[in-house]
Structure 1
């Protein structure tokens, strides 16, 4: 695999208009780069303009946690792209705690707004256009940690579990209109944000630590492009008969049953 994934230079997404939230770093930036390299026109978002969007992408600063932010993103998508064919919800995250009781009401609400309700709000604004065109592909980025919830991240994991249930329901509702909705659940991925979160978890839970890399059966952390490859597959024509699925991309780290 090359540095920008298996779709680079294929032109597979030529003529497609894509919106990727949280696309200035980590997994989101990898998705943006791969879509651009495969010919798509891409708009991405972040809360502020301090991050740098991949070269070639359009950018809008907006807070996906709020209705006003969702409205701003949808308006920018219409103005910049003229509509959205591909929607990738990548923005998300939450800090760890020593235990469930340490998670405040405000942090529970923030986790729900960022990791769950942001997708609900933005989908509600953009799905109608997809229905009119009777075509569209949506990917919600969840987390493989939903498979084994742990107390320090329970607000985050619970929000992602809600996202997965919502994604399945949306997929069933929109299938008759040619809209496919799938989920990608990454495991441990080497990104600056992920590393900072794991370091804080280790500080708060020294007995557990960060879990050694050999615990991942494939023997390494994931790379942002590992996840981006999965996303691009799901929004491509190669996955035209896939909807309501959850693709777990974690090197085998989390138990499945």
Structure 2
């Protein structure tokens, strides 16, 4: 049965892939993104392939913007059946330069060098808000459509960082841990009104946000990228298409008794002790 699916951050690489895959299943897709051009590009690709999609501008940190997006979705496709909270990201002002603090770091005057003590509160707040508040607000707006209706669900995007934080990125790690916790809270809270809530925890996928951290301009791995591959039993980065199968399952009636879970899609990273 075709459903109306709202996807935030859907102009990005990972969520655009999910949008296209869900459209191929016959669902009507509302492609939400902060940038209208990015949203329209994905929607046009879906429509050009015979699917149904609209591009909608929405700021996941502004409830009024999300309410306007909801009105647009309603006028085109009706109430939201499935929400995928895909908007998120990191900020360099919430990132340390080194994985471990050394005494000599406290006197390092290199431009741009940051220890934990130099982290910018605005950068940390931006990262936390984008990932956590940017999941909470769309849920407040669109889950209202789902209350008391059958076959409705929410899919959040967590991260490997939520299980065990990566070095250098405390703000992002903490924010994604909050998303996982919120997923469980929502699953319990909505359990009596027919809304399932689950999350994906992607492993390491090359995106425009992390490409320069994980690969050199030559295409070779950076030391951080090599460490990740060494810790991933399947020995590669994820491809966007690797998220499709789990997404289709969690959004389908085949997962009708599944709620409150955070599913790693990580090539075995979370299962490997390193030994």
TM over 0.5: yes
Residues 95-106 of structure 1 mapped to structure 2, 5 A cutoff: 95-96=91-92, 97=95, 98=97, 99-106=115-122
Q: Distance in 1 between matches of 2:208 and 2:63?
A: 28
The equivalent of 1:126 in structure 2 is 142
Q: Aligned pair in 2 of structure 1 residues 85, 147: CA closer, same or farther (>3 Å)?
A: same
Contact 1:142 1:160 in 2 (8 A): yes
Contact 2:147 2:193 in 1 (8 A): yes
Q: Aligned pair in 2 of structure 1 residues 216, 177: CA closer, same or farther (>3 Å)?
A: same
Local SS of the residue matching 2:79 = coil
Residues 119-198 of structure 1 mapped to structure 2, 5 A cutoff: 119-198=135-214
Residues 24-63 of structure 1 mapped to structure 2, 5 A cutoff: 24-51=11-38, 52-53=41-42, 54-56=45-47, 57-63=53-59
Q: Distance in 2 between matches of 1:159 and 1:73?
A: 25
Contact 1:66 1:113 in 2 (8 A): no
Local SS of the residue matching 2:226 = coil
Structure 1 residue 197 displacement after superposition: 4.8
Note if 1:243 corresponds to 2:259: yes
Unaligned runs of 5+ in 2: 48-52, 98-114, 217-221
Q: Aligned pair in 2 of structure 1 residues 100, 146: CA closer, same or farther (>3 Å)?
A: farther
The equivalent of 1:209 in structure 2 is 224
The equivalent of 1:116 in structure 2 is 132
- The normalised TM-score by structure 1 is 0.85
Moved more, 38-47 or 132-141: 132-141
Structure 1 residue 102 displacement after superposition: 3.6
Structure 1 residue 78 displacement after superposition: 1.9
Q: Which has the higher contact order (CA 8 A, sep 6+)?
A: 1
Local SS of the residue matching 2:141 = helix
Q: Distance in 2 between matches of 1:243 and 1:68?
A: 29
Once superposed, what is the RMSD of the aligned Cα atoms?
2.1
Q: Distance in 2 between matches of 1:82 and 1:157?
A: 36
Note if 1:20 corresponds to 2:16: no
Aligned length: 238
Moved more, 122-131 or 242-251: 122-131
Local SS of the residue matching 2:270 = coil
Q: Aligned pair in 2 of structure 1 residues 86, 196: CA closer, same or farther (>3 Å)?
A: farther
Local SS of the residue matching 2:30 = strand
Local SS of the residue matching 2:225 = coil
- The normalised TM-score by structure 2 is 0.80
Unaligned runs of 5+ in 1: 1-13, 201-205
Contact 1:145 1:254 in 2 (8 A): no
Cα displacement string for residues 120-174 of structure 1 (whole angstroms, at most 9, x for unaligned residues): 1111112222114244111000101222213421111111111111111110111
The equivalent of 2:111 in structure 1 is none
Contact 1:167 1:244 in 2 (8 A): yes
Cα displacement string for residues 53-104 of structure 1 (whole angstroms, at most 9, x for unaligned residues): 1422211112212223322332222222211111101111113422433431
